[in-house]
Amino acid sequence: MQQSPSVPASTPPQTATFPRKIGVAVDLSDKSSYTVTWAIQHHIQPHDTVVLLHVCTTTHDNNDTDEMKKMKNYFHVYTISKLDDFAKSLLQAQIPYNLHIVMDHEIKERLCLEINSLNLSALIVGRGRVLRSPLRMSCWCCGKF
Report how far apart the first and last C-alpha atoms of the chain are (Å, whole number). 36
Please state the rounded mean pLDDT for residues 7-21: 58
Q: How many CB atoms lie within 10 A of CB 31?
A: 14
Please state the rounded mean pLDDT for residues 22-47: 90
Q: Note the pLDDT tens digit of each residue in 46-105.
A: 889 999 999 988 766 667 788 888 888 888 899 899 999 989 999 999 999 999 999 888
User: Three-state SS for 4?
Assistant: coil
44-11-116 Cα angle (round to 5): 25
| Predicted confidence band of residue 7 (pLDDT cuts 50, 70, 90) | very low
Q: pLDDT at position 90, please?
A: 94
Mean pLDDT, all residues of the chain: 77
Q: pLDDT at position 60, please?
A: 62
Peptide bond into 12 cis (omega under 30): no
Q: Superfamily assignment of 21-140 in CATH?
A: HUPs (3.40.50.620)
pTM as predicted: 0.72
Beta bridge partners of 56: 103
